[in-house]
Amino acid sequence: MGTLSSPAFPALPPHCRSFRTLQLVYCPAPNTATTSLPPSLEFVAHASNVTCLVLGKHSGRLLATGGDDCRVNLWSVSKPNCIMSLTGHNTPVECIQFKDTEELVVAGSQSGSLRIWDLEAAKILRTLSGHKANVCSLDFHPYGEFVASGSMDTNIKLWDIRRKGCVMTYKGQSNAVRCLRFSPDGRWIASAGDDGIVKLWDLSAAKVLTEFREHTGPVNIVEFHPNEYLLASGSSDRTIKFWDLEKFKMVSCTEVENSPIRCILFSMDGCCLYSGSQDSLHVYGWEPPRCFDVVPVNWSKVSDLSTCSNQLIGASCSQMTVSTFVVDLNRVKKSGSIVQGEIEDEKLFNLLTPKGAALRRNYERPLTTCMKEEPESEQRSPSGEEDKDDKESTAEIRNPEEYKEIFQPKSAIARTPPRRNDPFPAPPEDGKLLPFLRLWIRFILFAGASSLHLTILFTTSSPPELRNRHLSGCRTKAMLLLHLVFPQPQKNNKLADLTDEDAVSQIRKGHDTMCVILTSRFKNLDMVRAMWTTGDVKTSIDSAVTMNDLAVMVDILNIINLKPALWKLDLCSSIIPQIEKLLQSKYESYVQTGCMSLKLILQRFGPLIADNLVTPPSIGVDITREERQHKCKLCYKQLKNLVPILQSKAGLAGRQGSAFRELQLLMASFE
């Protein structure tokens, strides 16, 4: 690090004076301890001009490029060998984006179409069409199976990857949408473009929350702070502005740089912002506004930034060539205070520092994804036919060894955070063991009995070895509990000599109430099973409804949710009222089952219900069509009753909140 030169305070631009009485931006001299950094790697990426590129933000190891040759090529940042080449577009690729886990990549073209590839499976996943002009910007939803796209047609579209269709179109930009980002909690989209206006959209309400109009030139990039309600935007007016998303007003702005702001990136801890401009890296703080460091880098017009292992990686392109650059963040000043003597009037600096300001609100994000991966057979378009464009798209692996290292297995590259698979809590302290064991005895009795009953009831010809294996697992749990409860058995009464009946009898002691509940539940399931075996699913569902037992309904829905082929329009009118009860249940498992069932209904029958609501009456007598319209209208009326519940619970934190927000989006798609 070089020594800091004496500060100079140029006149502030008018758009900065308007927010506070006075703003002071201190920018040090360029970091002269090192010369301008050369590229760490330079290679020819395409047979024609490179039009766009993106770095993987999660691992910092992946780079995707798009070109005039209509291809998307995948690279390792540290090597010049192409890992995979993705084809399918018929016009030049305009923009690319990785999913946060880096297992999917989406590319938009000049024709207005999007293509999504599954990198781990090395195949095309989806082709999406709907824009009327070039696709300029893309972003994946942070946890749902959605992707947003902005276009020169001034529209923003939200796509459901699984349904292969557009969920919502947001209209309001007056010019091309050059950049967009989902907020970390997935509830908002920030968009901006050539008109210089930054807009904040509420996804579920499909409306603009606020507009920021202080930029005087096109906005090239927007980024959300990783934790706080703060948004940064970089513009061709050569400034970066910071926006408070609680008060919807500007926090601060940077001094005018020498070139347009092309890319920005918050540090992982959110303490500073990196800005990539012409041949330099700037490091900024925003409260108070200050430039911590300037590092010369020969990256010309840098296109994207990422961080990995305390290194900042930048990538730029020129004609057919791509260059990558590495900046050691250990040698970059990312924070600091005013050194005594740098500002003569200490009172002035204290006035500028908002020491008494309250901490900004943080995002409430789900801890895990709210959706399970569906089997490949269930991820087809509503028509059941594959798109012709999908068949013509390919994912050609160019470097098998490197592909296997990065994508098979997933753990080879830490794209997905490690998950704890152990569902049991830590053992309690001494003296609290028996209450702890009683709790888990109830859990194992409940889980073991219900899953065993379901296995036997709904498998008409369950193999004996399946039942025996399940019984053996239950007996193992029982023996483990007995070993904990009776750690010192008598010498002549070995634990291994206990029969299954003895073990179950020992565990049942003191749990008569639970046994009565499970016995009643078993009888109800047995009655449903008697009707189920006749093949009349509708009648068996109706019988379960008349029992007025949500536990039984949850068991049955868990079976139907695993077999989407069983879902028929006839079932919806019977099940939706039960889903309404499940969504309001105090048991999390009931709520999860209700959410999954409602999601399947909206995905499979949402378009059908919407079409029948607007279909004109038939001419003549068409009983089948009239019955279908009646069922669709009944389902629509029942679904409308769920809207207040979804709205009230969409703000919840964690997995439940994310599931309700996703259902809100699906509900809006056919309203």
pLDDT of amino acid 517 = 76
Question: What does DSSP assign to residue 263?
Answer: E
Cα 188 to Cα 152, 206, 345, 347: the distances in Å are 21, 10, 42, 39
Give residue 28's pLDDT band: very low, low, confident or very high (50, 70, 90). low
User: What's the mean pLDDT in 474-500?
Assistant: 51
Q: What is the mean pLDDT of the chain?
A: 75
pLDDT of amino acid 214 = 92
The three state secondary structure string of 177-224 is: EEEEEECCCCCEEEEEECCCCEEEEECCCCEEEEEECCCCCCEEEEEE
User: What's the mean pLDDT in 52-64?
Assistant: 89
pLDDT at 7 over 60: no
225 token code pair: 């702070």
pLDDT of amino acid 529 = 79
Assign residue 589 a region: left if phi > 0, alpha if psi is -120 to 50, beta otherwise? alpha
116 token code pair: 């999504």
Domain-located, residue 402: no
Main-chain dihedrals φ then ψ at residue 143, nearest 5 degrees: -145, -20
Burial of 6 (0-12, 13-18, 19+ CB in 10 A): exposed
> In this predicted structure, which of 69-73, 391-395, 429-433, 471-475 has the lowest mean pLDDT?
429-433
pLDDT of amino acid 441 = 52
From 298, 332, 366, the end of a domain falls on 332
- In sequence order, the 6+-apart residues with CB closer than 8 A to the CB of 356 are none
Domain-located, residue 25: no
Number of Cβ atoms within 10 Å of the Cβ of 365: 18
3-class SS at 467? helix
Give residue 66's pLDDT band: very low, low, confident or very high (50, 70, 90). very high
pLDDT of amino acid 284 = 93
Domain-located, residue 167: yes
pLDDT of amino acid 424 = 35
pLDDT of amino acid 30 = 56
Rounded Cα distance, 637 and 150, in Å: 34
pLDDT of amino acid 508 = 66
Contact 660, 652 (CB under 8 A): yes
pLDDT tens digits along 397-406 = 877 877 777 7
pLDDT tens digits along 114-131 = 999 998 888 898 899 889
Give residue 10's pLDDT band: very low, low, confident or very high (50, 70, 90). very low
Give residue 516's pLDDT band: very low, low, confident or very high (50, 70, 90). confident
349 token code pair: 């600096």
Q: Percent of the chain beyond pLDDT 70?
A: 70
pLDDT tens digits along 623-639 = 777 788 888 888 888 88
pLDDT at 378 over 60: no
The bridge status of strand 41-44 relative to strand 321-328 is antiparallel
Look-up of token digits 């070993």? 483
From 279, 306, 332, the end of a domain falls on 332
pLDDT at 36 over 70: no
pLDDT of amino acid 635 = 85
Question: What does DSSP assign to residue 416?
Answer: S
The bridge status of strand 135-140 relative to strand 198-202 is unpaired
> In this predicted structure, which of 94-98, 413-417, 661-665 has the lowest mean pLDDT?
413-417
Give residue 32's pLDDT band: very low, low, confident or very high (50, 70, 90). very low
3-class SS at 474? helix
Domain-located, residue 169: yes
User: What's the mean pLDDT in 80-84?
Assistant: 88
From 311, 332, 353, the end of a domain falls on 332
pLDDT of amino acid 58 = 83
pLDDT tens digits along 224-261 = 999 889 999 999 999 999 999 988 999 999 998 888 99
CATH number of the domain to which 69 belongs: 2.130.10.10
pTM over the 0.75 mark: no
pLDDT of amino acid 498 = 58
Q: How many domains does the chain have?
A: 2
Domain-located, residue 610: yes
pLDDT of amino acid 477 = 52
Cα 281 to Cα 3, 230, 334, 590: the distances in Å are 17, 21, 12, 51
| Domain around 585 | 514-669
Domain-located, residue 109: yes
CATH number of the domain to which 582 belongs: 1.25.10
Domain-located, residue 540: yes
pLDDT of amino acid 29 = 53
Which residues are registered as beta bridge partners of 289?
Answer: 286
Domain-located, residue 578: yes
- In sequence order, the 6+-apart residues with CB closer than 8 A to the CB of 611 are none
